[in-house]
């Protein structure tokens, strides 16, 4: 079994992001920046009805706009529209302005249909069905274990609560989009994607072109967070426009489009009952939950990620449970995988009710977790984190904070699977000593290029900047999509194998006993004219799956304004073997800040009367800004013996739950509804009428 080196020069240490200079000089070329010769602008016309029968779409006037080179329908013939923003037609032209003019001139003949956009309305029998042949509310999926009624009867304390989480929009700053050139030779697509091979196969399948004739490139991409796997309707439209216009077409979605049609995190409505013995041992748990994944709630959602279900009772093992999940279909865009699908809402509901139980039993929240958390790693993390955070000094009885600005603390835990596999990589050693590592993976901003350089540099005793890392091209050896925190654990072992085997081949071919480090150049020179290319593939033993993490939050809540300020987050995270420390820390920061948005700011707002998304922009869909971010204190629990584990997702899970618990601790009343906006705080304090359902 291969093993990672014990002594390292770069692995686990501070190495600057290898593509940092490209990103700070503007020379990094994203899909949106690619400008192939003769390229055209592409744009999509979307439905302005949340539900409608479309009988005709006329493109004639649009086609006559100066500069317009192609106009196409998404689908021929009559069709039914099921959400505001569904794609109807697309145009390509020589400028954005020409496209905007053309979109205004497309004539759509439609008969509006009844619609429903809110979960609480959609689950009623009287609501208009989103899909004609099935009810909006799915049959419950039920899991039962033990004897629940008996167990609740034996509990010393039982608490009940109702918790809700909103639909979130991914909002990567680079919108979904592609620049596509479709000629007789085949298709070349620059894609803003988390999976170049899934885009290739999607385009090939949709457009009936051989996979060998589709090339997908993604050298730099501006964020995905789970929403960017397949080519999407916009990718297929860009390709069809390119074929029709006989020119490359760049079709990047607008921020408005982004809010409607390319994925979201499902909502959740969780009725929870939890019981424990007098010493705090969890005995009985009951969950009745529903949520919406938009029009995709009935079955699997586009791009994976499942529906609105979530793991329950999350990280805890409870002998007697009954869990019931139902999906509620509404007239809104389908959900997609969103950073740690299912986990943040699961953590929020479970960790909230657990704190309620702790209060009832007069137990410290950390203590009740130590009593019930089955993971020995998280047990250690709670101890380390509590000490570092100063939990004992900061925790007080809920609501006992004096004055108008209340302080409070909370904590929560998380787990994630991850794991790797299915990746190949190749090393090309050139006679001049330069080295290229090629792998058909992609870097979402997580630092994949840096990770590859760090590993190759350590194994071959070179410097990271001596290594040309080439990724993001389907002409390179294959790798999977970057989802589920699997990239680091998939790519690292393949790069390890390619480098190890390439070194061996170099030494065999040149007779140099140890070609690493100082001997490298001389050995490479002996290769003669041809470079040496050696492939490697993922090997077991160098990566693993399963991570645990805990977070602590400290907040201030202004009881007069309802404003919540998070002062500090302490995070203790298991990450297996830390490969690239600097980018690893950045991932932790990023997960926490996204969790902060979930806790306090972000939500998609639908309008029942018109069926539209009311906040399809950044002035009304609020992201955390620099001034909102607390002090973030990180402890990385390094376990090199476990190999590489991805951490992109686990770090975003417990943040919102920890913050919500801290707010409850500050106020003495719980706000069970995310985001915790000032109006909800004031309503919880009885200072205003509750504005939210």
Q: Encoding tokens for residue 670?
A: 């719980």
Contact between 8 and another protein per CB under 8 A: no
| Residue selected from 530, 619, 689, 693 as contacting another protein according to rule CB under 8 A | 619
Task: Return d(Cα 351, Cα 362) in angstroms, integer.
Answer: 16
Contact between 244 and another protein per CB under 8 A: no
CB of 653 to another protein, least distance (A): 14
- The full DSSP string for 114-148 is -----HHHHTSTTSPPSBTTB-SBPPPEEEEES-H
Cβ nearer to another protein, comparing 14 with 475: 14
Question: Which candidate, 349, 333, 346, 325, places its Cα nearest to that of 137?
Answer: 325
| Residue selected from 248, 419, 420, 624 as contacting another protein according to rule CB under 8 A | 624
Q: Within 13 A of 365's CA, how many CA atoms are on the CB side?
A: 31
Contact between 63 and another protein per CB under 8 A: no
Contact between 556 and another protein per CB under 8 A: no
For 302-330, letters b (16+ CB in 10 Å) and e give bbbbbbbbbebbbbbebebbbbbbbbbbb
CB of 478 to another protein, least distance (A): 23
| Residue selected from 8, 9, 33, 53 as contacting another protein according to rule CB under 8 A | 33
Interacting residues with another protein between 377 and 416 (CB under 8 A): 377, 380, 384, 388
Contact between 370 and another protein per CB under 8 A: no
- Cα 169 off chain centre by: 10
Interacting residues with another protein between 167 and 186 (CB under 8 A): 171-175
On whether the CB atoms of residues 270 and 345 are closer than 8 A, the answer is yes
Contact between 594 and another protein per CB under 8 A: yes
On whether the CB atoms of residues 546 and 355 are closer than 8 A, the answer is no
On whether the CB atoms of residues 225 and 170 are closer than 8 A, the answer is yes
- Cα 292 off chain centre by: 18
Contact between 515 and another protein per CB under 8 A: no
| Residue selected from 2, 21, 374, 422 as contacting another protein according to rule CB under 8 A | 21
Contact between 545 and another protein per CB under 8 A: no
Contact between 522 and another protein per CB under 8 A: no
Interacting residues with another protein between 427 and 466 (CB under 8 A): 444-447
CB of 647 to another protein, least distance (A): 13
Cβ nearer to another protein, comparing 162 with 618: 618
The binding track of 43-62 with respect to another protein, each residue x by CB under 8 A or -, is ------------------x-
For 663-675, letters b (16+ CB in 10 Å) and e give bbbbbbebbbbbb
Cβ nearer to another protein, comparing 280 with 624: 624
Cβ nearer to another protein, comparing 594 with 683: 594
Interacting residues with another protein between 630 and 659 (CB under 8 A): 632-641
| Residue selected from 574, 579, 613, 682 as contacting another protein according to rule CB under 8 A | 574
Task: Return d(Cα 296, Cα 305) in angstroms, integer.
Answer: 11
Query: With CB under 8 A as the contact rule, which of the stretches 216-224, 396-404, 553-561, 680-688 interacts with another protein?
Result: 216-224
| Residue selected from 226, 365, 418, 591 as contacting another protein according to rule CB under 8 A | 591
Cβ nearer to another protein, comparing 209 with 636: 636
On whether the CB atoms of residues 328 and 290 are closer than 8 A, the answer is yes
Place of tokens 């689950």: 123
Contact between 278 and another protein per CB under 8 A: no
CB of 335 to another protein, least distance (A): 18
Contact between 80 and another protein per CB under 8 A: no
Place of tokens 């020379």: 27
Contact between 516 and another protein per CB under 8 A: no
**Residues near 686 by Cβ (< 8 Å), separated by ≥ 6?**
none
| Residue selected from 244, 629, 669, 685 as contacting another protein according to rule CB under 8 A | 629
* CA-based end-to-end distance of the chain: 57
Q: What are the residue ranges of helices labelled H in 26-84?
A: 60-63
On whether the CB atoms of residues 505 and 534 are closer than 8 A, the answer is yes
Q: How many residues are listed for the chain in this entry?
A: 693
Task: Return d(Cα 251, Cα 240) in angstroms, integer.
Answer: 11
Interacting residues with another protein between 88 and 127 (CB under 8 A): 95-97, 101, 104-105
């Amino acid at each position: 079994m291969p093993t990672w080196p014990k002594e390292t020069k770069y692995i686990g240490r501070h190495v600057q992001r290898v593509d940092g200079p490209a990103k700070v000089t503007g020379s990094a070329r994203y899909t949106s920046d690619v400008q192939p010769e003769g390229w055209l602008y592409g744009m999509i016309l979307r439905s302005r009805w949340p539900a409608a029968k479309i009988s005709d779409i006329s493109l004639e006037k649009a086609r006559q706009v100066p500069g317009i080179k192609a106009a196409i329908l998404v689908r021929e013939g009559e069709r039914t529209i099921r959400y505001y923003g569904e794609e109807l037609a697309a145009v390509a032209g020589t400028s954005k302005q020409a496209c905007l003019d053309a979109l205004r001139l497309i004539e759509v003949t439609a008969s509006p249909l009844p619609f429903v956009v809110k979960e609480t309305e959609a689950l009623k029998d009287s609501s208009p069905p989103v899909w004609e042949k099935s009810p909006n509310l799915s049959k419950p999926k039920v899991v039962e274990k033990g004897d629940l009624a008996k167990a609740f009867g034996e509990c010393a304390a039982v608490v009940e609560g109702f918790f809700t989480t909103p639909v979130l929009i991914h909002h990567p700053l680079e919108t979904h989009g592609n620049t596509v050139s479709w000629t007789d030779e085949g298709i070349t697509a620059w894609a803003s994607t988390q999976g170049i091979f899934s885009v290739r196969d999607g385009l090939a399948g949709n457009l009936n072109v051989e996979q060998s004739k589709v090339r997908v490139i993604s050298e730099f991409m501006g964020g995905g967070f789970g929403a960017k796997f397949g080519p999407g309707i916009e990718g297929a439209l860009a390709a069809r426009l390119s074929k029709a216009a006989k020119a490359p077409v760049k079709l990047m979605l607008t921020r408005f489009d982004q809010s409607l049609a390319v994925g979201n995190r499902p909502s959740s409505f969780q009725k929870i009952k939890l019981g424990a013995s007098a010493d705090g041992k969890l005995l009985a748990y009951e969950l009745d939950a529903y949520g919406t994944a938009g029009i995709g709630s009935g079955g699997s959602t586009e791009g994976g990620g499942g529906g609105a279900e979530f793991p329950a009772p999350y990280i805890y093992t409870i002998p007697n449970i009954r869990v019931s999940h139902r999906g509620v279909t509404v007239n809104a865009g389908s959900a997609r995988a969103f950073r740690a699908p299912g986990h943040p809402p699961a953590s929020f509901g479970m960790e909230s009710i657990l704190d309620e139980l702790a209060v009832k039993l007069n137990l410290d929240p950390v203590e009740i977790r130590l009593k019930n958390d089955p993971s020995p790693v998280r047990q250690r993390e709670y101890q380390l984190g509590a000490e570092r955070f100063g939990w004992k000094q900061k925790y007080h009885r809920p609501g006992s904070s004096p004055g108008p600005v209340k302080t409070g603390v909370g904590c929560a835990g998380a787990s994630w699977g991850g794991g790797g596999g299915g990746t190949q990589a190749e090393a090309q050693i050139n006679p001049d000593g330069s080295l290229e590592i090629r792998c058909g993976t992609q870097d979402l901003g997580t630092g994949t290029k840096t990770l590859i350089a760090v590993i190759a540099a350590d194994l071959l005793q070179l410097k990271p900047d001596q290594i040309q890392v080439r990724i993001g091209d389907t002409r390179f050896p294959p790798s999977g999509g970057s989802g589920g925190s699997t990239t680091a654990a998939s790519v690292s072992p393949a790069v390890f194998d390619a480098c190890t085997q390439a070194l061996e081949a170099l030494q065999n071919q040149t007779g140099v006993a140890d070609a690493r480090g100082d001997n490298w150049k001389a050995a490479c020179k002996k290769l003669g004219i041809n470079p040496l290319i050696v492939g490697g593939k993922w090997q077991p033993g160098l990566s693993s799956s399963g991570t645990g993490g805990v977070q602590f939050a400290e907040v201030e809540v202004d009881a007069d304004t309802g404003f919540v300020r998070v002062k500090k987050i302490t995070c203790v995270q298991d990450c297996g073997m830390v490969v690239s420390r600097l980018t690893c820390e950045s991932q932790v920061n990023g997960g926490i800040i996204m969790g902060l948005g979930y806790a306090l700011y972000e939500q998609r707002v639908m309008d029942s009367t018109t069926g539209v998304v009311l906040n399809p922009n950044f002035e009304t869909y609020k992201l955390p800004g620099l001034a909102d971010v607390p002090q973030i204190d990180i402890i990385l629990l390094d376990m090199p013996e476990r190999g590489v584990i991805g951490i992109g997702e686990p770090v975003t899970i417990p943040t919102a739950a920890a913050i919500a618990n801290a707010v409850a601790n500050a106020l003495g009343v719980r706000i069970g509804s995310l985001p915790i906006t000032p109006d909800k705080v004031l309503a919880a304090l009885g200072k205003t009428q509750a504005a939210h359902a």
